[in-house]
Amino acid sequence: MTANETGRAQTDKAEPVVSVIVPARNEEASLGACLESLISQAGVEFEIIVVDDHSTDRTREIASSFAGVRVIEAGPLPDGWTGKNNAMVRGVREARGEWLLFTDADTFHLPGSLAHALQEARANQEDLLSYSPEQIARSFWEMAVLPVVFAELAREYPPSKVSDPKSGAAAANGQYILVKREAYDAVGGHEAIAGEILEDVALARAFKAAGRKIRFRYAADAVRTRMYRNWAQLRDGWTKNLALLFPRPVPLAAKMLLLWMIPVMFLFLAAHRDSTSLYGAFVVAEVYLWTRIGRANFGRYQNYLGALFGMPMFAYLLLRSRHALAKGKILWKGRTYSEKLATGH
């Protein structure tokens, strides 16, 4: 039985327990691998719905080549909505599952991960389970910047607090969000957050505000992703997000630059004074930075690049994001979102 035949058997022989919804806008570089990993899932009945969000590349052709995958159009974009939220709502309308998995087209799902995620959510009586995927970084700037970004995200949104019903912290990663359909409908779903660019965080906040149980964790055992494939994509993607993810982007940028400059200053002074103690201070400062970045679950080499080059670039992207937000123009995938839309006000 081929992978495509497996997908068809999973989706046709019984009502799906899980509806997998994949919004896709110009995703020809990654969609094939994503769907290949999804149709081969086992241990649970599921359906796969790809929502083509006005793609101009081979996205629809690729999606349609997989037997058992339903491909639908996102339809017109309503005023005040983001493209992704519109695609999500369109997919939900077609979904038949008791559970909904929202996952991005640039993800790769490990064998058995769907069944295990469903089991985890049910065992812990969760209404929303979100995985932070293993991040694949290959280009220089991916390896330097991503460890810093995800280390700071872990500080801003600690998974232990996010998963604690007594804590007000709420977050999710839009690359992998599994929700109980009943709870999703009860909080209004993506229609209730139609104008939110950070739809994943907004959805998690809506669940928590309604007293629904959420869980958020790093899940290299379930899913991986390569978010950006070049510097331009990385720059534009984080310009869209960073000033919304971090409530005080300018002070954080200043802090990052200061932390990065301290070991540089120690090294400069040590070289000019030939001071063993200053060399020691440089090493201690670098170890601190390496440790700070190390919480992001990247390798040693990437953490080292982050400490040397990623921190000032992260500061730059924070300021660039804040500037774009202040101008009222957030650009993403050929669309421009206003400041009003970006902030949800």
- CA nearest 196: which of 343, 86, 93? 343
Pick the CATH number of 3-133+173-229 from 3.40.50.10490, 3.40.50.2000, 3.90.550.10, 3.40.1180.10: 3.90.550.10
Using an 8 Å Cβ cutoff, are 325 and 343 in contact? yes
SS3 337: strand
In this prediction, the residues of the chain whose per-residue pLDDT falls under 50 are: 1-11, 340-345
Ranges of each domain in the chain: 3-133+173-229, 243-343
Looking at residue 328, its pLDDT comes to 80
DSSP string of 275-323, one letter each residue: -HHHHHHHHHHHHHHHHHHHTT---HHHHHHIIIIIHHHHHHHHHHHHH
Question: What per-residue confidence (pLDDT) applies to 330?
Answer: 81
CA distances from 153 to 134, 181, 197, 199, 294 (A): 14, 28, 17, 16, 12
Q: Which pLDDT does position 342 carry in this prediction?
A: 46
Per-residue pLDDT at 270: 83
What tens digit of pLDDT does each residue of 58-97 get? 999 999 999 999 999 999 999 999 999 999 999 999 999 9
Q: Phi, psi at residue 183, to the nearest 5°?
A: -70, -40
- Which residues make beta-bridge pairs with 178? 101, 129
The residue among 112, 143, 193 whose CA lies nearest residue 293 is: 143
Closest CA to 96 of 50, 34, 51, 46: 46
181-192 confidence digits (pLDDT tens): 999 999 999 999
Taking Cα atoms as reference points, which of 284, 289, 318, 320 lies closest to residue 306?
289
- pLDDT at position 341 is 46
Rounded Cα–Cα distance for residues 136 and 146 (Å): 9
- Rounded CA gap, 327 and 341, in Å? 12
CB contact at 8 A, 38 and 20: yes
Q: Which two tokens stand for residue 345?
A: 């006000």
- Residue pair 77/19 in contact (Cβ under 8 Å)? The answer is no
